[in-house]
A and B are shown apart, each in its own frame.
Chain A
Amino acid sequence: KNQVEQSPQSLIILEGKNCTLQCNYTVSPFSNLRWYKQDTGRGPVSLTIMTFSENTKSNGRYTATLDADTKQSSLHITASQLSDSASYICVVSETSNTGKLIFGQGTTLQVKP
């Protein structure tokens, strides 16, 4: 069964610190991997989209990496800010006409002052 597993489930860090979130997937065949940020009470917002040929992609202080051989991805947040407090969701797109999305359960990040 196609699955996306994220770790840790939750994380608390101090403002200004860095952190890394992990994503393992078993989706095959695989088209692309996305990271979304979801603020409380809001819909997910896209941070990065990577195809299997891309190893890394950045969006400001967010850097995603992808190892398609081991089926692992990570999201690194640099110099965290209070506004980074949110749920971060790893999503893998199947290779199909509709590109169906398989969602991880998310990592809840809390940044404390």
Chain B
Amino acid sequence: NAGVTQTPKFQVLKTGQSMTLQCAQDMNHEYMSWYRQDPGMGLRLIHYSVGAGITDQGEVPNGYNVSRSTTEDFPLRLLSAAPSQTSVYFCASSYGGIGTEAFFGQGTRLTVV
């Protein structure tokens, strides 16, 4: 089982560029989410989805868009990259909400210059 797969693993962007971080899971999980991890801080929720066609904002959604057209995929779009978006991004999935284990991808390290 591949689990949760994120691509790319590393990316450098120039300020103002846009890009999409890919996330795919093969566990048929309904719940998927995106987090960013910054030094000295806990992971913070950007956007999440409770099923195909349903998305909602998390704690730090500004500058990011998501969509969930299929159960398997949950891409994160950076509309116009800013240096403040330099971070490590993690995608996670779980089969339910409360009490269910979340599985994380390997992360995407993004640098915006």
Q: Name which of B42, B50, B97, B105 has the most chain A CB atoms within 10 A of its CB.
A: B42
Residue-wise interface mask of B (45-82) relative to A, using a CB-CB cutoff of 8 A (1 in contact, 0 not): 10010100000101000000000000000000000000
Residue-wise interface mask of A (71-113) relative to B, using a CB-CB cutoff of 8 A (1 in contact, 0 not): 0000000000000000001000101111111111110000000
Contact A42 B107 (CB under 8 A): yes
Residue-wise interface mask of A (36-47) relative to B, using a CB-CB cutoff of 8 A (1 in contact, 0 not): 000001111110
Chain B residues contacting A105 (CB-CB under 8 Å) are 40-42
Contact A104 B98 (CB under 8 A): no
The interface size of chain B toward A, counting residues with CB under 8 Å, comes to 27
Closest partner residue, chain A, to B94 (CB atom)? A99
The answer, among A41, A42, A45, A51, for a CB contact under 8 Å with B99, is A51
Complex Cα distance, B44 from A105, in Å, reads 10
Contact A46 B41 (CB under 8 A): no
Complex Cα distance, B51 from A10, in Å, reads 38
How far apart are B75's CB and chain A's nearest CB, in angstroms? 17
Complex Cα distance, B64 from A51, in Å, reads 33
A42-B107, A46-B102 are known contacts. Are A98 and B97 too (CB-CB below 8 A)? Answer: yes
Q: B4 on the interface (CB 8 Å rule)?
A: yes
Residue-wise interface mask of A (19-50) relative to B, using a CB-CB cutoff of 8 A (1 in contact, 0 not): 00000000000011010000001111110010
Interface residues of B, Cβ cutoff 8 Å to A: 4, 31, 35, 40-45, 48, 50, 56, 58, 90, 92, 96-107
Interface residues of A, Cβ cutoff 8 Å to B: 4, 31-32, 34, 41-46, 49, 51, 89, 93, 95-106
